[in-house]
A = this chain, B = another copy of it.
Amino acid sequence: MRIGFIGLGAMGAGMAGSLIAAGHEVTVWNRSPEATAPLKEKGARVAATAAQAAGGDVVHSMLANDAAVREVILGSVLDAMPAGSVHVNHATISIALARELIAAHAARQVGYVAAPVFGRPDVAAAGQLNIAAAGAPAAVARVQPLLDVLGQKVWPMGDDPVRAHIVKIAGNFMIAAAIESMAEASTLTRAYGVSAGDFLGLMSGSLFASPIFRTYGGLIADERYSPAGFKMTLGFKDVGLARSAAEAERVPMPFASVIHDNFLEAMAAGDGDLDWSALARVAEGRANLKNR
């Protein structure tokens, strides 16, 4: 298929590479043009503007946040897409923006498939992402082969794209909650002489043996918060998406409230650029572990 791929950050670059490797004709665009070079080498065409990447059968976009999606997709890409083509949005965005996008695509007779992804850059490059997908059945069916290229598994969430977006938002909240639970629990064990490494090693090697607990348990055990894999400020933004969605539907989420307050404390302390697993520093600071 003739595919446009917009947004070549650490995640998008790997995803676009997978689509090229699968034999699709891919035209890429990125705000900073340097990111296009490695893909050009793999056979991608490079568009001079985002709109120029939008003329094919399908456009994938993997943009950073609401502002970028609004500017690039609503600003130019959607208008350049032919009626009947499909836009696959991989970004983590607010429910409010999702609803705007759904209406705008419908008005232009362009299909809209929400397909947020779970996984890190190496997983993206290997085509092993987990993908939640939702949209009109015909549109989803059309892009299913592409999603199958990108993911080890595609999890269908129905025909309303909002559903896939809320799944991504709720999933990221669960990651933040996992970090906070490890932060509190390991602060407790440390106060009794058990290192975070010994405790979290057991947890992530047994009952909680899974990518999230292994990855973030390791970072907390090693206090390896820099360079950040995912910055505190981005985690704060994502939990904010959960809180906004919850507020709109009157869903109290006390864990989300605790996490929100802890993010604020971390950022007030100047830790905003650390990995979000540095929530553990808030917990240990409250217990004054360093001065015992």
- Give 11 CB contacts A-B under 8 Å: A153-B206, A167-B189, A170-B186, A173-B184, A175-B207, A177-B181, A178-B208, A188-B251, A250-B267, A251-B287, A253-B261
- A174 contact set on B, CB distance < 8 A: 181-182, 185, 203, 208
Partner of A191, one of B187, B249, B258: B249
How many angstroms between the C-alpha atoms of A248 and B208 in the bound complex? 27
A202 touches B167 (CB 8 A): yes
Identify which of residues 56-91 in chain A touch chain B, using a CB-to-CB cut-off of 8 Å.
Answer: none
Q: Chain A interface: which size bin?
A: 35 or more
Number of copies: 4
Identify which of residues 175-221 in chain A touch chain B, using a CB-to-CB cut-off of 8 Å.
Answer: 175, 177-178, 180-182, 184-189, 191-194, 198-199, 201-203, 205-213
Nearest CB on B from A140, distance (A): 15
Main DSSP-derived SS at the A contact region: helix
B207 touches A209 (CB 8 A): no
B163 touches A188 (CB 8 A): no
Please give the residue numbers on chain A whose beta carbons come within 8 Å of chain B beta carbons, in ascending order: 95, 118, 130, 132, 153, 155, 157-158, 160, 162-163, 166-167, 169-171, 173-175, 177-178, 180-182, 184-189, 191-194, 198-199, 201-203, 205-213, 242, 245-247, 249-258, 260-262, 264-265, 267-270, 283, 286-288
